[in-house]
Amino acid sequence: MKKVMIVDDEVLVRLGIQSLIRWENYGYQIVCDASDGEEAFQKIRQYQPDIVLTDLKMSPMDGFELISQCREKYPNIQFIVLSSYNDFDNVRTAMKIGAFDYVFKLTVKPEELLKIMNEAASHGKGAESVQEASSQSERNLEVIKRGLFKRILNSETFLNKYLEELIKLPLTISFDRPFYILSVTIDDFNVVRKKGDFMDLELLIFTMDNILDELFGRHHRSEVFQYGEYDFAVAVNREEQDYETFFTEMEKEFGIFVNCSRQYYGLGVSGALSGECMGIQELKDAITQNRDTLKLRFFSESGKLHSYEPNIREIVALPSEYHNSVLESLAAEHHFYGIRKFMEGFFCFLKEKNRWEPEEIRYLLRKAYGTLSAAFARGRVDIDMFLDKNGLNMEASINDYTYLEKIRLSVLELVELYKKEYESNSGRILRKEVAEAKSFVRSHMKEELQVADIAALVNMSGSYFSHVFKKEEGISFLEYVYRVRMDHARYLLKSSDLKVNEIADEVGILNPNYFSTQFKKSVGQSPLEYRQAQLNKAEENSRM
């Protein structure tokens, strides 16, 4: 049985890894733990572990010094770094001085950790063969190489330093010959993440990276690297063929990746191919080209590879029939047929404006959303509480969907829901003051909301406002505030990965314990129980 030590200055991390799985069932025994490198070095003499899982940033002795000292005195021990996000520089240093591999300590899955530990255990058996040493060296170089690519594309100050380090490494691609950058990005990423329909992000990135490497490495001199949270790039040398033939080849291989992403992850992806580049210094320019190209996929559809062409922007100019004042008049009268016709025509008009900045179009749509929200509030319809088939309200759909067409479908779906809700209320119109108060609560729920302050906002005395509000709504103003906060808390627990204390803050309750108590009183479940129940429900629906 292999002996394992855990070294981390956070006791919860140590306990979490110890309780991750039944280690004995897989041939491992956690023999001890330590809170810093100095304590670990003393215990290593006593327990003689085969594998050490260690943090890097500790005091008085950090993980770097621990690895260095053990390389000399205990060369057969394999070190696996417990890393945090955005900590690549430290991981790279640790691997240079002898660490075997690394894992993200806060998100690591049991199967991932076991796989790495099994590799480390196998690697540590007796004297290493030349082949084993070479394989491990290549693996470490690959991690370093891809980290350097990311640093080059996201750093302004140390670009030359990273370029010099990258050039020293063995590269499949030649930057001294013409090359192109094919960028790949995940569509509707925020929508999918809110729904929780895909695997852990780190594992997703890792597997996508490997598929891209396999696909494009078969027939091309290429390098794959990540440059954004969920953005990849493939640097490819073009051989002797003309550009049209080359683009067709790239399009075919990209199509295979599109199908893999849909089949294995249920995700849509899009791509962009840069213009011709020469010299490694042009990497950043190529990525910038592709970012601009991918912005314009807003007018297209998922799964396409877009070729680069210079972008000519047009100034936004709306014809009078699509001015917001027209929608405002229709919404004030709750003229649903007119509202739908307006929105259908508006989207049809916008679809033809593929020289407008997508963000400016989103801005125009957000203005339309604000107009509808204010008008329907007077009709007792809180449009933020209505969700489309993917669980997004209108504001979220405008912000989060990648494509204009998906926004169009969502908005029209939601308008129909507003119509049904308005009709179910018999078309009763709220007093202007009450509608304003409700709208203020929805947009300021994080703040302290007192009757006297809201009454002053709508030019009423506190007692008269309370009387009018209860007559209109059937509940007191403070009961309404409580209901809005609990409704929004349910929405956040279902659609986000915010922690319970963060959600409490979002809905204006400073004490997380009080929030949990009130939530359970309102819903019948604790916040965590409610979230788990929603996750279970989503999983059941996905299997149907």
| Residue 402 and residue 393 in contact, taking contact as beta carbons nearer than 8 Å | no
478 shares a domain with 506: yes
For 521, the 3-state DSSP assignment is helix
Q: State which of 401, 429, 457 marks the end of a domain.
A: 429
Which residue would you say has higher pLDDT here, 160 or 2?
A: 2
Domain that residue 481 falls in: 432-544
Provide mean pLDDT across the span 52-67: 91
| Residue 468 and residue 458 in contact, taking contact as beta carbons nearer than 8 Å | no
Confirm whether 160 is domain-assigned. Answer: no
Confirm whether 420 is domain-assigned. Answer: yes
445 shares a domain with 337: no
249 shares a domain with 180: yes
Q: How far apart are CA 279 and CA 211, in angstroms?
A: 26
Q: State which of 268, 286, 307 marks the end of a domain.
A: 307
CATH number at 59 reads 3.40.50.2300
Confirm whether 472 is domain-assigned. Answer: yes
300 shares a domain with 319: no
Confirm whether 225 is domain-assigned. Answer: yes
Instruction: For residue 519, name the pLDDT band (cuts at 50, 70, 90).
Output: very high
178 shares a domain with 301: yes
531 shares a domain with 415: no
221 shares a domain with 95: no
Confirm whether 133 is domain-assigned. Answer: no
Confirm whether 154 is domain-assigned. Answer: no
Per-residue pLDDT, 83: 81
CATH number at 520 reads 1.10.10.60
216 shares a domain with 336: no
Confirm whether 138 is domain-assigned. Answer: no
The structural domain count of the chain equals 4
Residues 327-384: tens digit of each pLDDT: 888 887 778 888 899 999 999 999 998 888 899 999 999 999 988 888 777 666 778 8
Residues 222-239: tens digit of each pLDDT: 888 888 778 888 989 887
* 253 pLDDT above the threshold of 80: yes
Q: At what angle do helices 243-260 and 201-217 cross, to 10 degrees?
A: 140
Q: State which of 307, 322, 338 marks the end of a domain.
A: 307
Token pair 């597997």 is found at: 207
Closest-CA residue to 207 (of 274, 109, 295, 297)? 109
Closest-CA residue to 13 (of 107, 99, 101, 100)? 107
Confirm whether 166 is domain-assigned. Answer: no
Task: Please give the mean pLDDT across all residues of the chain.
Answer: 83
Q: How far apart are CA 311 and CA 294, in angstroms?
A: 11
CATH number at 206 reads 3.30.70.270
331 shares a domain with 297: no
**Does the predicted TM-score (pTM) go above 0.85?**
no
Residues near 398 by beta carbon (within 8 Å), at least 6 away in sequence: 362, 365, 366, 369, 407, 411
